[in-house]
């Protein structure tokens, strides 16, 4: 698996898209920091960008890579390699190269800005960790979609739909549900609703840092325990890990049963 990972990673690290992605984040970081000169504002803007854009890029890129390297995958399949290591290797290759672009693209301008002497370093690290998690999750979901759909166009369609659903539509439905049942105690429901969507989960993690003052304004005891202590942070990270593990397991499962 490590060998496949290595080659996929090198392959992607040399592709134009990795550079575009990297350059985009580099530019974003530079613009936010050096034109605006306001670290707190930069972190907030970055958060908005990360929770929307990282999943989108992760899904599109994952699906694209899978379909584009289909013949290469077949070549690999004829080699004495386990299927799971071929697909996990490719998956990790994509996910890690995307994460690298993100971390370096944003990290470099921030380091030059003097991040290490700033108190925002924790918020910033949390952003990058969350971004990496989202990349891992959405690339895995993309591989799942691609593995289940031979038709490229269908695969892309589902990938975009998945993103639209989790990034926007889900929250709309969520909001409507909460308003509809506002007469009932909702704090558990709202937390569960958050856990079931990795984008919401990441957003909550960041809210814990940026908006704790507002979150603590709400009465519910479960809410209070979740946001007032480290409990929320720990649970969120566990859930994010589950969100990585489940699709990855399905990649392994699905790839073992697939014909090429």
> Which residues make up the interface to other proteins (CB under 8 A)?
3, 7, 10-12, 14-15, 38, 40-41, 44, 47-48, 51-52, 69-72, 74-83, 167-169, 171-172, 174-175, 178-179, 182, 186-187, 189-191, 193-194, 200, 203-204, 206-207, 210-220, 223, 257-260
Supply the angle between the helices 83-113 and 121-148 in degrees, to the nearest 10.
150
Cα 56 to its chain centre, rounded Å, is 9
**Nearest approach, Cβ of residue 142 and other proteins (Å):** 18
Looking at the Cβ atoms of 176 and 234, the one nearer to other proteins is: 176
**Nearest approach, Cβ of residue 17 and other proteins (Å):** 10
Dist CA 10 CA 7 (whole Å): 5
Looking at the Cβ atoms of 221 and 245, the one nearer to other proteins is: 221
**Nearest approach, Cβ of residue 80 and other proteins (Å):** 4
Looking at the Cβ atoms of 34 and 245, the one nearer to other proteins is: 34
Neighbour tally for 23: CB within 10 Å: 12
**Nearest approach, Cβ of residue 141 and other proteins (Å):** 18
| 43 token code pair | 């972190």
For residues 138 and 62, the answer to whether their CB atoms sit within 8 Å is: yes
| 169 token code pair | 């539509």
**Nearest approach, Cβ of residue 47 and other proteins (Å):** 7
Dist CA 18 CA 103 (whole Å): 12
For residues 134 and 56, the answer to whether their CB atoms sit within 8 Å is: no
Looking at the Cβ atoms of 7 and 24, the one nearer to other proteins is: 7
Looking at the Cβ atoms of 81 and 235, the one nearer to other proteins is: 81
Q: Is 81 helix (H, G, I), strand (E, B) or coil?
A: coil
Looking at the Cβ atoms of 108 and 128, the one nearer to other proteins is: 128
**Nearest approach, Cβ of residue 125 and other proteins (Å):** 18
Dist CA 204 CA 167 (whole Å): 13
Dist CA 133 CA 25 (whole Å): 17
């Amino acid at each position: 698996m490590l060998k496949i990972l290595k080659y996929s990673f090198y392959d992607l690290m040399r592709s134009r898209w990795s550079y575009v992605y990297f350059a985009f984040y580099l530019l974003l970081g530079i613009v936010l920091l050096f034109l605006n000169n306001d670290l707190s504002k930069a972190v907030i803007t970055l958060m908005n960008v990360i929770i929307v854009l990282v999943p989108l890029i992760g899904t599109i890129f994952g699906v694209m890579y899978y379909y584009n390297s289909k013949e290469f995958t077949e070549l690999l399949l004829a080699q004495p390699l386990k299927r799971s290591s071929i697909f996990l290797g490719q998956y990790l290759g994509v996910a890690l190269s995307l994460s690298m672009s993100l971390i370096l693209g944003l990290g470099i301008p921030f380091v030059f800005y003097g991040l290490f002497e700033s108190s925002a370093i924790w918020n910033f690290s949390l952003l990058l960790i969350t971004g990496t998690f989202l990349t891992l999750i959405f690339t895995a979901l993309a591989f799942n979609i691609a593995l289940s759909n031979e038709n490229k166009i269908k695969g892309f369609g589902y990938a975009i739909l998945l993103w639209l659903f989790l990034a926007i539509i889900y929250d709309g439905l969520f909001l409507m549900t909460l308003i509809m049942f506002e007469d009932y105690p909702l704090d558990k429901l709202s937390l569960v609703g958050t856990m079931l969507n990795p984008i919401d989960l990441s957003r909550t993690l960041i809210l814990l840092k940026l908006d704790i003052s507002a979150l603590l304004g709400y009465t519910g005891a479960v809410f209070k325990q979740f946001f007032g202590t480290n409990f929320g942070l720990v649970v969120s990270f566990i859930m994010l890990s589950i969100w990585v593990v489940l699709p990855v397991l399905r990649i392994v499962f699905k790839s073992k049963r697939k014909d090429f």
